[in-house]
Chains A and B, each alone.
Chain A
């Protein structure tokens, strides 16, 4: 049996010491090729959980093991380098750099990894093609529609073939049709790149595109009970 891409052990987080934990006892194993959806009510801490997984925040209790490495044992720089290589992000608010072109935005992770020029160009073009925006490569992101910008964000999350893709409400700002296209694209790309993915969402429709659905509650992650 291979090492899980991500393992969470008894994870707990509170916003301040005098307030109760927003969640605790969160355990999870995510293996290569798995695509998981996490649902939950507003304020339950879904985005906070995502930040913990990526090492952008630290838990008050428990462990996050990414590729078998305990993030608590790493300093900020080491966590950042691990995140750079192993994690891809897709945000609800897109978060692309407005002053860069589409292809520059997509190539950012490759730039950070020091990918040589020709290789960077090839992989960027491939990824733009894969998400269907290769014709927009030279355009600035401020000139694109919401659906197109989110495709840029997905391409950027996957271009460096991370082991784990984290998507936080990636269709929250999109219409139904665009949302369906983006969700299908995200799943296909995660599977195609042989990584693992976690989709944080409110939407049951969106969650249904994942292999399994978990619900985040104050006392941990639980499988969604089928109606």
Chain B
């Protein structure tokens, strides 16, 4: 970096002096960079730990299989397994029944794996290995093994009974043993397959077969061929897909968290940029002197760049350490899914990732380097003779000529916002935001000049001097405003997006929860449901005026994607169309086949269009439906399909339900109705029954909780931006000591100078906040209509939290003005004579 020992010493002297003179600025810049790096690295570490754990669990479950055959939860005929076992290319196969089982008195579910212990010994050796000799006891019809985390969660020990719910009645299973944590770290129960089939009323049914092929077999070709011969809705999947699904489902969430980290880094880079620019401006005569004494342009550029890089090195070291600590804390005290609910993994542990941490370390340094580069280059290019004489250098020229690049970047950003996602990620959307942000910052000087040009001459000395000062030092104003504009506009954009999402989410809840109460069996379970008779009993419970029931289940449309939720609801198509929050609908109702309404995620992920036909695997056959409309679904990221209950019953013969909406008679309270409903079904204590108002409140609370981290980061980003303004104000005030001294010499009162500073602060911060507000609104359009849509595959309606933004703007303007006054006060504390004499 530094060419010779002499200049290395100069660099060191300058650096130490700089830190000593401005420690607060140094540490705040370091803190901003550390925050970005810490956020990025902790999100990475936690996600990696979660995905590793998920991958490990999947590998233990899938074991040594080459192919996994998966069917719907209610299973497919055992004959598929018999045919497969006869295939000469298959050297081992393991029939399985994998179910999310409802339990009496609990609202969560337990994954139960029904397996053939002898066949599983080949393909799932890790699980069967520990059962060892206990394998013969496993054949007992009520025997079940629990993993240690399942036993812990259910507070069960060896010999205890586990009550599972089948339909709406309860069955008891005996805990035969506990598997150690090293065998399987996640909650899991293992049974003999015949016992599982009998217990869960699925005799003769399987829903998974693991297959091992003889060496030399083309696995992919075999999988493709097998796929054509399997019943509808039964798919042959490569084991890797199982893990990839988790990665795909959580990808958008992870990328968005990483983008927040980038926002912090971006703000950090701006802070480095403004800090270094102002520092160079403040030291321009010192630096010119060094040039006069024989420091070359390159040496000066490298020394100043080195200052920025040192900020990066310290910030990155702190950031990576903090990131690792935060990740360890999150994994220990919270969950590894970072609140997205998609990766339910217990026991995920932090693993060393030196290469990735080194990458984050260098990202921080590079960001600091980018921020420091332009000021270093500008300072090195200053003509030393002119700077020594007190000239301002060419910052202003640079600022005035940057508007062209600003316009180009803005146009570029606007164009990129129209591009489609890349690999399911809104990469162009993020690039559009970066380009718009950078372009808008480059336009600040020219817009400031135009804006100040409109300011009238009032002949009030304080105001006129303030305007003139801002006009003459537009480059300095732009620098000081850059960090607040960047951080505030990003905050505004995020606030508008989150508010829009919240308003849309609330409207969605109101539309979907018109009844007084909601009831359901444990979410995601495969075993508990209400028969037609039980539905009648619930409907005729005291205090119930009307009840509607739904059947939800999973269907697998594509082996590479997560299962899709099928919801059978409504008595007919007209009722569905009226009840769903529809985005678009077909012009005419389906004539030839039953109708299906797909969620936006399904439309985006599978490319279906309204009016087209789609095949849904039901009861072992591909049933044809016509897509009657697209609806908004904020609950299911992987997509969902709604069909009418009569259409579902006709296709499957299944009249059961596992969710319902209840309307109450006038005067009946939710708690009274709840009691009578619980008495109507066998496993009433396990029913989730909630008043719609409470459900809506809870949903909104959990929505707000999910965005707490985002809000906190936004506040930090704005604080960092304000710190930038404060640094700029104090630098400017210091640089203007001689001016203040001169003004005092010619008779300006101390109070008048303070007033001038306050008006300058108010004018510039009001401009910065207004500009940030306008820019933030533009960015929010990209976030709402591009980034959100492409990340999560659902739309939201734009809504602006006007009052919150107005209040925040007022606070920011006041804070920035106070900062300006405070900075001026310290500069004014010096006596006027010394200030005028002092040249530096």
Contact = CB atoms under 8 A, between A and B. Distances in A.
Interface of A: 47, 51, 54, 56-57, 76-77, 80-81, 83-85, 87, 89, 91, 93-95, 97-100, 104, 108-115, 156
A77 B293 contact: no
Contacts of A110: 6
B285 to A, nearest CB: 7
A113 B6 contact: yes
B293 A104 contact: no
Contacts of B293: 83-84, 89, 108-109, 112, 156
Interface stretch (B7-15, B225-233, B549-557, B687-695): B7-15
Contacts of A99: 17-18, 20-21
B10 A112 contact: yes
Nearest to A93: B839
13 contacts: A89-B293, A93-B388, A95-B292, A95-B388, A97-B17, A99-B17, A99-B20, A100-B13, A110-B6, A112-B10, A112-B295, A114-B4, A114-B5
B6 A100 contact: no
Contacts of B298: 77
Nearest to A88: B293
A80 B3 CA distance: 15
Q: Which 4 residue pairs across A and B have the least CB separation, nearest first?
A: A84-B294, A114-B6, A99-B17, A51-B385
B17 A100 contact: yes
Nearest to A168: B388
Interface string B1-38: 00011110110010001101100000000000000000
Nearest to A57: B385
B640 to A, nearest CB: 66
Interface of B: 4-7, 9-10, 13, 17-18, 20-21, 285-286, 289-298, 383-385, 388-389, 839-840
Nearest to A146: B837
A83 B297 CA distance: 13
A93 B9 CA distance: 25
A56 B292 contact: yes
A98 B840 contact: yes
Given A80-B294, A89-B293, A56 B384 contact: yes
A190 B762 CA distance: 55
Given A112-B10, A114-B6, A115-B6, A81 B385 contact: no
B7 A112 contact: yes
Given A89-B292, A110-B6, A112-B7, 10 more contacts: A56-B383, A57-B383, A77-B298, A93-B388, A99-B20, A108-B290, A108-B293, A112-B294, A113-B6, A114-B5
A56 B289 contact: no
B6 A80 contact: no
B221 to A, nearest CB: 66
A80 to B, nearest CB: 4
A133 B73 CA distance: 92
A80 B291 contact: yes
B184 to A, nearest CB: 63
Nearest to A96: B289
Contacts of A54: 292
B292 A83 contact: yes
A114 B291 CA distance: 16
Q: Which interface residue of B13, B292, B388 has the most chain A CB atoms within 10 A?
A: B292
Contacts of B290: 108
A112 B4 CA distance: 9
Contacts of B389: 47
A114 B384 CA distance: 22
Nearest to B834: A142
B294 A76 contact: no
Contacts of B383: 56-57
Given A111-B13, A114-B5, A80 B296 contact: yes
B6 A112 contact: yes
Contact of A80 (B21, B285, B295): B295
A111 B297 contact: no
A120 to B, nearest CB: 9
Contacts of A115: 6
Contacts of B17: 97, 99-100
Contacts of B286: 97-98
A102 B383 CA distance: 26
B293 to A, nearest CB: 6
Contacts of B13: 100, 104, 111
B10 A111 contact: yes
Contacts of A76: 296-297
Contacts of A97: 17, 286, 289
B12 to A, nearest CB: 9
B296 A77 contact: yes
A91 B10 contact: no
A94 B292 CA distance: 13
A91 B9 contact: no
A83 to B, nearest CB: 5
A219 B648 CA distance: 105
A113 to B, nearest CB: 6
B758 to A, nearest CB: 29
A85 B294 contact: yes
Contacts of B285: 95
A127 B227 CA distance: 91
A113 B4 CA distance: 9
B380 to A, nearest CB: 10
Nearest to B289: A95
B8 to A, nearest CB: 9
A109 B294 contact: yes
